[in-house]
C-alpha cells in the first residue's frame, strides 16, 4: 500500500509541475520572482494532499475532538484544489496544442501578450467549469428511468421496479443532508427492490455513522441489497458490510437470494468488487459462485464494476447492475472515459446479458459534476417478446 501511495503522489506531483509550469511561464511577475512563483505552486500541491491524507490519518481524531466544521472546511478547500488542478492540466494540454499550432500557422506579433491572453482564457474556462460543477454536484441526483426487456422474466415480475444507488461516497464533502435527499428520492419512486452497488465509503463507517444513518430509512417491497465496491476495501470492507447489515440491508457476498411472487421466482445475486478476485473466499469476487444453484429464471447480478460482465455472462446472469465509472464525473473527463471503460453509462448489451451502469449517485474527490448529473436509477423489468 505504501508503494502504491508513493506512486500516486509522484504522478500527481508531476501533473502539478506541468500545470504550474504552464501558468508560471505566462505570469507577468514570474520572471522577476521565480522562487515565489514555484513556492506558490508547491503550496497549491500541498493543499491538494491535505484532504486525502487527513481523511486517512488525523481528520477523524479532529472530528471526535469537536473540530468537525474545521475539518469539513479543510476537506472542501483541498478537494476543490484537486479539481482545479485536474482542470488546469486538461485545459493546459489543449491550449498548448492550440498555441503551438497557432505559432506555426500564424506567429503572433507579440508572443508574450498572446501567452498572457491564453492564461486568461484558461483561467476563465477553469472558473466556469468549477462553478457549474459545484452547482451540479450539490443539487443532488436526478432519477433516470430505464426499461429493461428480459425474455425469461416470469409474468409475476413484469414491471418489477429496482431503484439503484451507486458510488455515494459518503465522507469528506457528502454528509447526512445529501444522503437523506437520496433516501427521499428513492422512497418516492416506490421501488420493489433497492440495489446498493458499492463505493459508499470515503471514510470508516464509525466516522460517518450519523451521515449514513438515513439509509436505514430506505423502503421497498423486498428490501435493500448491498455489494462492496473498490472503495470499501480502501477503508475497512468488513466494517462496511457490518454497517449495512445494521442499516437493514442484505449484504450479498458472492451469493444470491430467490424472490417469489406466487409460483414465479426472480434471482438477485451479488459479488464483491472485481479488484478482490485474487483474495480467495469469502471476499474474492466470483460470479459463478454467486449464481451457483440458482433456479432457471431471470437473474439480476449486482457487481460494482462493469468489468465483471465477462464472468457474469458466463455465469448465466441476464442483467448486471454496476457503477464505478461516474461516466467521467465532470467535463472534460466525461469525453475521455470511453477510452478506459467499455461500458460507462446507461444500458448496454453484452452478449446475452444487459449491463446497466449508474453514473454515480454522489461523487468522488472534487465536488464537481459538470455535464454529468448524479443519478438514482429506476429500472423497470419488462417481459421481452
Q: Is pTM beyond 0.85 here? A: yes
Residue 350 has pLDDT above 80, yes or no: yes
Spatial separation of the C-alpha atoms in residues 155 and 179, rounded to whole Å: 34
Answer yes or no: are the C-beta atoms of 85 and 42 closer than 8 Å.
Answer: no
Checking if the pLDDT of 92 tops 90, the result is yes
Instruction: Look up cell 443519478; give the residue.
Output: 375
d(CA 78, CA 65) in angstroms, rounded, equals: 21
Using CA atoms, how far residue 88 sits from 103, 238, 337, in Å, is 21, 38, 18
Percent of the chain past pLDDT 90, that is, above it, reads 82
Q: Which three cell numbers stand for residue 370?
A: 459538470
Q: What is the pLDDT of residue 264?
A: 97
The pLDDT tens digits for 195-236 are 999 999 899 999 999 999 999 999 999 999 999 999 999 999
**Domains annotated on the chain, with CATH:** 2-138 (no CATH), 142-383 (3.60.21.10)
The x, y and z cell numbers of residue 156, run together, are 409475476
Amino acid at each position: 500500500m505504501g508503494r502504491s501511495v508513493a506512486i500516486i503522489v509522484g504522478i500527481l506531483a508531476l501533473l502539478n509541475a506541468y500545470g504550474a509550469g504552464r501558468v508560471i511561464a505566462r505570469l507577468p511577475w514570474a520572471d522577476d520572482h521565480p522562487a515565489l512563483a514555484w513556492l506558490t505552486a508547491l503550496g497549491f500541491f500541498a493543499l491538494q494532499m491535505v484532504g486525502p491524507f487527513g481523511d486517512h490519518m488525523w481528520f477523524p481524531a479532529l472530528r471526535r475532538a469537536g473540530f468537525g466544521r474545521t475539518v469539513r472546511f479543510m476537506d472542501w478547500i483541498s478537494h476543490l484544489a484537486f479539481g482545479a488542478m485536474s482542470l488546469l492540466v486538461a485545459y493546459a494540454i489543449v491550449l498548448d496544442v492550440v498555441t503551438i499550432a497557432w505559432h506555426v500557422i500564424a506567429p503572433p506579433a507579440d508572443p508574450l501578450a498572446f501567452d498572457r491572453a491564453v492564461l486568461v482564457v484558461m483561467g476563465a474556462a477553469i472558473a466556469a467549469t468549477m462553478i457549474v460543477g459545484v452547482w451540479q454536484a450539490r443539487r443532488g441526483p436526478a432519477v433516470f428511468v430505464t426499461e429493461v426487456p428480459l425474455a425469461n422474466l416470469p409474468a409475476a415480475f413484469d414491471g418489477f421496479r429496482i431503484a439503484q444507488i451507486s458510488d455515494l461516497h459518503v465522507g469528506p464533502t457528502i454528509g447526512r443532508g445529501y444522503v437523506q435527499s437520496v433516501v427521499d428520492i428513492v422512497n418516492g419512486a416506490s421501488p420493489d427492490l433497492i440495489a446498493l452497488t458499492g463505493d459508499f465509503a470515503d471514510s470508516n463507517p464509525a466516522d460517518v455513522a450519523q451521515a449514513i444513518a438515513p439509509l436505514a430509512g430506505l423502503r421497498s417491497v423486498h428490501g435493500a441489497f448491498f455489494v462492496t465496491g473498490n472503495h470499501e476495501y480502501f477503508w475497512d470492507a468488513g466494517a462496511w458490510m457490518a454497517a449495512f447489515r445494521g442499516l437493514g440491508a442484505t449484504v450479498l457476498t458472492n451469493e444470491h437470494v430467490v424472490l417469489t411472487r406466487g409460483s414465479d421466482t426472480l434471482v438477485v445475486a451479488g459479488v464483491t468488487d472485481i479488484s478482490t478476485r485474487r483474495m480467495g473466499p469469502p471476499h474474492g469476487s466470483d460470479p459463478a459462485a454467486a449464481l451457483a444453484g440458482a433456479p432457471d429464471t431471470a437473474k439480476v447480478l449486482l457487481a460494482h464494476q462493469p468489468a465483471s460482465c465477462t464472468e457474469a455472462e458466463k455465469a448465466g446472469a441476464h442483467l448486471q447492475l454496476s457503477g464505478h465509472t461516474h461516466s467521467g464525473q465532470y467535463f472534460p473527463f466525461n469525453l475521455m472515459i470511453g477510452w478506459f471503460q467499455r461500458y460507462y453509462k446507461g444500458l448496454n448489451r453484452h452478449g446475452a446479458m444487459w449491463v446497466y451502469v449508474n453514473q454515480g449517485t454522489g461523487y468522488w474527490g472534487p465536488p464537481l459534476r459538470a455535464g454529468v448529473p448524479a443519478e438514482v436509477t429506476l429500472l423497470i423489468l419488462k417481459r421481452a417478446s
